[in-house]
Amino acid sequence: MILLDRVTKTYNKNGQALERISLHVEPKEFVIIVGPSGAGKSTLLKLLTREEKPTTGKIIVGGIDYETLKDKEIPLLRRKIGVVFQDFKLLPNKTVFENVAFALEIVGMGNKEIHHTVPRVLDIVGLKGKEKRMPRELSGGERQRVAIARAIVRQPRILIADEPTGNLDPKHAWDVIRVLEKINRFGTTVILTTHNQEIVNKLKRRVITMQDGQIVSDRANAEYRS
């Protein structure tokens, strides 16, 4: 599903962000990426969504080779990948429903279908009945779940969640993780980055540890100590 082959990313001023990263993720896998700030986790995710281009190396996601990917095709790629951002990136002037519907509007889904799909997804993330709320009226955990609903509403084969629990208290953090597990059970590949040791240790999934732009360990059912 995801293949990185000796990927290096060098920024002009800040030097090396990623150094010869090789990584293979199978379909339906649940992968956790851990590591201190500046280890290169976010850069790695930005390469996957083609927000950044690798300096050298090969990236293939869902059969698409990024080297031959044209600018015009980038939107089509992004529609296949759901992304949950640490800062939610919700539209403040739109309701919960509209925020989720937005992801479908920009790909040209009809209004009827949108009204059918969005409530079902809001139900999955446990936000039934809050369709008309504005983001500012929601708690952090609820906002994050709106972001997850928006990321999965197009049924992507890959879901990338960048520190989705970073701003949440433990209870809400677990709500979010449970939703991610549920989505993974439905068959979506999940890539999760986090700082939270407790979550990592309880989930018992594949853990990739990064440091200084390199992968220092990659183990199944791993625990994590910072």
Residues of this chain that interact with other proteins (CB under 8 A) are: 49-56, 71-72, 74-79, 83, 85, 89, 91, 102-103, 105-111, 150
d(CA 137, CA 225): 36
**Least distance (Å) between residue 207 CB and other proteins:** 26
Please identify, using beta-carbon distances, which residue of 143 and 205 lies nearer to other proteins: 143
Residues in Cβ contact with 69 at an 8 Å cutoff, skipping those fewer than 6 apart: 50, 77
**Least distance (Å) between residue 31 CB and other proteins:** 21
**Least distance (Å) between residue 110 CB and other proteins:** 6
Please identify, using beta-carbon distances, which residue of 162 and 205 lies nearer to other proteins: 162
Answer whether 58's CB lies under 8 Å from 5's CB. yes
Please identify, using beta-carbon distances, which residue of 19 and 218 lies nearer to other proteins: 19
Residues in Cβ contact with 220 at an 8 Å cutoff, skipping those fewer than 6 apart: 205, 206
Please identify, using beta-carbon distances, which residue of 110 and 129 lies nearer to other proteins: 110
**Least distance (Å) between residue 89 CB and other proteins:** 5
Please identify, using beta-carbon distances, which residue of 105 and 223 lies nearer to other proteins: 105
What phi, psi does 15 have (nearest 5°)?
Answer: 75, -155
**Least distance (Å) between residue 74 CB and other proteins:** 6
Q: What angle in degrees, to the nearest 10, is found between the helix axes of 170-185 and 140-152?
A: 10
Which amino acid is it at 1? M
From the list 54, 49, 46, the residue with the least C-alpha distance to 5 is 54
